[in-house]
């Protein structure tokens, strides 16, 4: 039996990387899993059963959770996303910061942990060494699916789209939309005509100044900036299909699903040059610029928007790449949790 944890993600109304992982795995596994919610699950399990979670957790949020982990009543597997709340506490929800150390320690009690990138895997192992934790868990990496929007891939993008740039991600300091807004403002002021589409719910703790900045820029540059406070998969798929380039100025990621999904649509991605993103940028279709290099970003965005030859080369690289699907991700996990 495979018990699948839906304690939080089962009722989540917003779309995040974490909920994307949970929903796509649940869809792919279908009838082979049994959904469970803590603490309503009666936990009458066999030693050969698997409990699988891609959620964040702590004993403070799940009464009796740590004690159950120590009983080892069945086999347990978890997806590990990142150590961001510990590395960037000043721009992370206080609740997440307070929970994350215990969450990462409790992962050591699992049988298998699947990190969403090699960067995240090494961060988890280093955290355990730092804390003096002797893990029971075997830690490996998984490749997350790029087909999160359930759309087929283009064979080739022959005609360069119009001047549309797309930014996807919750509005908050970690996603660093301020940087791309600064770059866009510079280019608009210089007379470059393009439209920036920003998609993402507003982080209620950190995002309001960003939302205000977007409103101000929309008044100053009519028709050049569109904002979508969250968007369904159908709307997002249309925006990807229309985009000439995606911009991903994030400061920290566990994997970077918007970059993978951009490549799936054959859309070149302009992003920050982070170690975790290099795991997916170096195979092509991306232009990685050093963090905070405003001039470099402006030059790169201008080139992709105006130079059809440069755009076509990146688009060809994106379309030609072998990208993982969620079906393959689920199958690789199921091969272990069987």
Helix/strand number for the chain, H first, E second: 13, 12
Spell out the domains of the chain, with CATH numbers in brackets.
Answer: 2-145+325-336 (3.40.50.2000), 164-320 (3.40.50.2000)
Report the phi/psi class of residue 130: left, alpha or beta, with left for phi > 0 and alpha for psi in -120 to 50: alpha
Give pLDDT, residue 156: 76
> What are the start-end ranges of the H helices in the chain?
17-29, 65-71, 84-87, 94-106, 118-131, 177-189, 208-220, 233-242, 257-264, 275-281, 294-306, 308-320, 326-336
Question: Going residue by residue through the chain (338 aa), what tens digit of pLDDT does each one get?
Answer: 999 999 988 766 667 778 899 999 999 999 889 999 999 988 889 999 999 999 999 988 899 999 999 998 999 999 999 999 999 999 888 888 989 999 999 999 999 999 999 999 999 999 999 999 999 999 999 999 999 998 888 877 767 789 999 999 999 999 999 999 999 999 999 999 999 999 999 988 899 999 999 999 999 999 999 999 978 889 999 999 999 999 999 999 999 999 999 999 999 999 999 999 999 999 999 999 999 899 999 999 999 999 999 999 999 999 999 999 999 999 999 999 88
Give pLDDT, residue 92: 85
Give pLDDT, residue 172: 94
Give pLDDT, residue 157: 74
Contact 91, 173 (CB under 8 A): yes
Beta-carbon count within 10 A of 151 CB: 17
Give pLDDT, residue 124: 98
Give pLDDT, residue 154: 82
Query: How far is it, in rounded angstroms, from Cα 303 to Cα 306?
Result: 5
């Amino acid at each position: 039996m495979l018990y699948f944890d839906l304690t939080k993600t089962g009722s989540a109304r917003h779309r995040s990387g974490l909920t994307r992982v949970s929903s796509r795995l649940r869809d792919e596994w279908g009838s082979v899993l049994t959904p469970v919610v803590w603490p309503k699950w009666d936990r009458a399990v066999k030693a050969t059963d698997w409990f699988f979670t891609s959620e964040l957790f702590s004993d403070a949020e799940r009464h009796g959770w740590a004690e159950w982990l120590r009983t080892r009543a069945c086999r347990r597997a978890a997806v590990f996303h990142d150590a961001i709340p510990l590395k960037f506490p000043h721009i992370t929800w206080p609740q997440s910061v307070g929970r994350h150390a215990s969450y990462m320690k409790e992962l050591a009690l699992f049988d298998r942990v699947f990190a969403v990138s090699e960067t995240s895997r090494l961060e988890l192992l280093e955290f355990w060494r730092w804390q003096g934790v002797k893990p029971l868990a075997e830690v490996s990496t998984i490749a997350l699916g790029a087909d999160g929007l359930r759309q087929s891939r283009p064979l080739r993008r022959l005609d360069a789209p119009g001047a549309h740039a797309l930014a996807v991600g919750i509005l908050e300091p970690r996603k660093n939309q301020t940087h791309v807004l600064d770059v866009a403002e510079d280019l608009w002021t210089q007379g470059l005509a393009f439209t920036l589409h920003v998609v993402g719910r507003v982080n209620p703790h950190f995002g309001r100044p960003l939302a205000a900045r977007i409103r101000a820029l929309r008044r100053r540059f009519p028709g050049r900036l569109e904002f979508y406070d969250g968007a369904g998969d159908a709307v997002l798929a249309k925006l990807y299909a229309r985009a000439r380039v995606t911009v991903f100025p994030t400061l920290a990621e566990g994997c970077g699903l918007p970059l993978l999904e951009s490549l799936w649509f054959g859309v070149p991605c302009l992003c920050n040059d982070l170690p975790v993103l290099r795991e997916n940028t170096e195979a092509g279709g991306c232009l990685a610029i050093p963090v905070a290099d405003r001039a470099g970003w402006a030059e790169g965005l201008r080139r992709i928007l105006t130079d059809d030859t440069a755009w076509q080369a990146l688009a060809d690289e994106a379309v030609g790449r072998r990208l993982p699907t969620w079906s393959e991700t689920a199958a690789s996990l199921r091969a272990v949790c069987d």
